[in-house]
A and B are shown apart, each in its own frame.
Chain A
Amino acid sequence: MLDNLFYIIFPYAAITLAIVITVQRYLKRGFTYSSLSSQFLESDELFYGSVPWHIGILVVLMGHVIGFAIPRQVLWFNGVPARLYILEITGLLFGLLALVGIVSLIVRRFTSARIRAVTSWMDVVVLLVLLVQVVLGVYTALFYRWGSSWYATSAVPYLRSLFTLQPDLKMIAPLPMAVKAHILNAFIFLAILPFSRLVHMLVVPIHYLWRPYQVVIWNGDRRKIRGQSPRPRKQPATTALPVIADGGVVNKPVTAR
């Protein structure tokens, strides 16, 4: 019964919250989307927290996503023991890196007076949820070995069953407590995501890698307003945005506001 609540009802509630509230917040309260960086107030300790945390957690998270996307291929890869060991050790190392990072970040947040001044209750909740998740993850990696393989055969079918709207608990029901807590905590993470600073991970500026350096935005097309356009227009009227690139002068549309 409790399993139904924790692993069927709550996950759907968490996913719904995560989608509806993040979109609503993005559209209506765009101002609140920020990394809320505190580097300006304290920079040195941040380096030893933020960098290992982000690198560690990104790699681990990527591992989870890959396992979810292509479980068969992961199982095939793990078929050779040497490859399995390498995968497991890599995962564990990055998990430990994330653990070191999150612990440094927590220590920093509560020892620096300036950082305490910008700490909200939600920040405390976020740090706690992340710490619990990483500790459970590392614990699982250490004591329930070959997770990369059994994740593909037990947790992935469950997760996929959620996505196909036919929730099926039989694969995760017999899992150890630590692993089940890890799964539950993951959905808690999803549930608090839209209400916390975690939304910054949804607006990672990947498009920066290919956009032109200079951005010029016009409030509409002046040529059109004044009814004279002898020069052929290169872009649609509403966002007529000549942009000066680093390599040469080009015209490329950029979305205004």
Chain B
Amino acid sequence: MAMTFHIALELIGQAIQMLLVLAVAPLVLGITRKVKARLLRRIGPPLWQPYIDLWKLMHKEAVLAHNASWLYRAAPYLVFATTWVGAALVPTYATSLMFSWSADIIAIVALLATGRFALALAGMDVGTAFGGIGSSREMMIASLAEPAMLLVVFSVALIAGTTQLSTIAETFVHASIGLRVSLGLAMFAFVFVAIAENARIPIDNPATHLELTMVHEAMVLEYSGRHLAMIEAAAALKLVLYFSLLACLFVPFGMATTDKGLAALAIGFGSYLAKVFVLAVLLPVGETAVAKMRVFRYPIFLGGAFAASALAVFLLFVSRGF
């Protein structure tokens, strides 16, 4: 009996996390838009505007090109599903949840890559010029960002001795690992990668539909109705996922770890929301400060991330002496 109860509790814990990320995602988007608008001296849409947008899109008719294949229709759901699963696996308010064993950081990277792959295929499916260019650029960015991301993963995993997010977070909360240049560099690289992956300035501008510069928006230009809602929701979830990853890897403090009492959980919840809020404010501040890059500059930007993360791995070898 106690066993069943325990399992039920664990399930609830995991379910809370799944719902939490889903519920928070549009709000995070709303915050970033609002802050950005205020920085530009606009009033901006209300915080809950993304919820309204999604609701409206869900009820609109989905218009399909007549040469669209099943792939085109399936892709939005696939993207949404992979991103949601990924986001739900990253420890947010507590570690060691029921499915934490599967929350391997490499698996999460792979999940995101699957989603991106589907979306890129869908972008090319209808055969429009924009979709093609968007897909090709997206793939270029991905090919540049992924090595850097993997090296970040390596450096963090080398310090913690595992690639399992929940264990990494626990290690970082409890063990004293000292001042590590490697971790700083890894974080720096991770932020770069996150910016590129989430199609934010200076790599991409989520608010533009200017032909020459758009990447993500070009891919999804043909979508409408519930399909677009899925994609928009997935984009918001992806942002939350990266925020959670950042919080979990580099500032895991406040997370409920071994102590699963209500107080600890509440602290974990509160600190998670606070961290996400801070990041959601910092992102538009950073975005306002820089200008969009030309496409040819992407390799330099992401090359910097790669160099930083590679350096992080090298430095680990120096301090450990193999």
Determine if chain A interacts with chain B.
Answer: no
